[in-house]
Structure 1
Amino acid sequence: MSEPKDGWKGVIKGKPANGQIATRSRTTKIEDIHSFTDMTGDRNPVHYNEELAKKTSFGKLIVQGGVTTGILNACVAEDLPGPGTVFLNTNLNFKKAVGVGETITGKVELTSVRDDKPICQMAVEITDSAGDICVEGTATTYTMPLDGL
C-alpha cells in the first residue's frame, strides 16, 4: 500500500490546520478610491460625489467593494495559508458599505485543509470598527510550493 501524497511539501509555511485564524486591519483612504479607479475604471458617483452619496441609503462616500475585499487577499497571501496562496473561488455577500476613513478588519478561518493537495476551504469576513459585518462568505485557496524557486 502506498503512502498518501503530502500535498504541502515545499509550501513555505507548511500545512496549516483546521480552525486556524488570521486577521488584518487597515483604515480606508480617499486614495484607495482613486487607485482602484485607475486599475478598473470604476467611477461610480457613490465613490466620488459626496453630496450625492449622502442622499443614498449609504449616507456617505463609500469605497469600492474591491477595495474592501482586497484585505482578504493580504490575509491569505501573507498570513494564512501564506506566501504562494491564491484564490480558486470566493463567494462573498456584501452586508454593509465601507466609507472613507473607516477601519476594517479582514478575517479568514480555515474550515477544511486537504492532505493530498495544498487546498483550503475557509470562512471569510470583513468587519468595521463597530464590529458590524460588512462582507462575509467562503473561499477556496491553493498554495503553490515556493521553496527552491
Structure 2
Amino acid sequence: MTKLQEHTGKKASELVVGDKAHMSKTISESDVYMFAGITGDFNPAHINEEYAKETPFNTRIAHGMLGAGMISAVLGMKLPGPGTIYLSQELSFKKPVLIGDTITAEAEVVELVDKGKFVICEITTRCMNQHDEVVIEGKAKVIPPK
C-alpha cells in the first residue's frame, strides 16, 4: 500500500447505495468567533448578544455555514473520505444552531452515476441538534477518490 492509498477514502467501486457516515461537534462561542474572523461575517446576530436578544431567536445563533461546514468534514474525512472532490451542495436551513448545541452531520449515499472517466456520488446530507431536530438538510455531489 502506498502512502497515497493509506490516506484515501472509499473508491466508487467500494461504495454502495445506503452507505452512511456521521460526525458530531458541540458548537462553542470560540467556533463562532473564529468562523466570523475567517470569513469576515461579523453579523451581530452571531457575535453581539444584546443585538441578538432583539431577534426572533432571542440569543446569538451560529453561522449557518458553520454547521454546513460539518457536512464537508463528513464527506472529506469519512464518506467517501480523504481524496473526495466536492462538486456541489444544496442546503436548506431548517432551525438555528445555537452556541452550545451539539450538531451531528450525516451523509448517506443515494446514487452512483458512472460518467466514464469518473463516478459521481449523490449523497443526502443533514445536520441535527442534540434534540434530534433537523437544522440543515440538503444534497451533495462528489467524486470519490480514485
TM tier relative to shorter chain: 0.7 to 0.9
Deviation at 1:12, TM superposition (A): 4.3
**In structure 2, C-alpha distance between the alignment counterparts of 1:77 and 1:108, rounded to whole Å:** 11
**In structure 1, C-alpha distance between the alignment counterparts of 2:63 and 2:96, rounded to whole Å:** 9
What amino acid is the match of 1:121?
A: E
Query: What is residue 34 of structure 2 aligned with on the other side?
Result: 35
Structure 1: gaps of 5 or more residues: 1-9
What amino acid is the match of 1:135?
A: I
Cα-to-partner distance string for 1:125-145 (whole Å, 9 max, x where unaligned): 001000111001111011233
Matches of residues 14-25 of structure 1 in structure 2 within 5 Å?
Answer: 14=11, 15-25=14-24
| Seq. identity, % | 35
Query: What is residue 100 of structure 1 aligned with on the other side?
Result: 99
Matches of residues 59-138 of structure 1 in structure 2 within 5 Å?
Answer: 59-115=58-114, 116=116, 117-138=118-139
Cα-to-partner distance string for 1:43-88 (whole Å, 9 max, x where unaligned): 0001111122122112221111121111101101111011111320
Q: Tell me, what secondary structure is at the counterpart of 1:114?
A: strand
Structure 2: gaps of 5 or more residues: none
Kept in 1, the 8 Å contact 2:102–2:130? The answer is: yes
Distance 1:12 1:41, change over 3 A: closer
What amino acid is the match of 2:108?
A: E
What amino acid is the match of 1:48?
A: I
**In structure 2, C-alpha distance between the alignment counterparts of 1:49 and 1:33, rounded to whole Å:** 11
Q: Are residues 1:46 and 2:45 paired?
A: yes
Q: Tell me, what secondary structure is at the counterpart of 1:19?
A: coil
Kept in 1, the 8 Å contact 2:104–2:128? The answer is: yes
Deviates more, 1:100-109 or 1:112-121: 112-121
Moved over 4 A (4+): none
Kept in 1, the 8 Å contact 2:33–2:47? The answer is: no
Q: Tell me, what secondary structure is at the counterpart of 2:122?
A: strand
Distance 1:81 1:47, change over 3 A: same
**Root-mean-square deviation (CA), in Å?**
1.5
**In structure 2, C-alpha distance between the alignment counterparts of 1:144 and 1:111, rounded to whole Å:** 17
Residue-pair matches, total: 136
The TM-score normalised by the length of structure 1 is: 0.85
Cα-to-partner distance string for 1:98-129 (whole Å, 9 max, x where unaligned): 01111000011100123442320011100100
Larger-gyration structure (1/2): 1
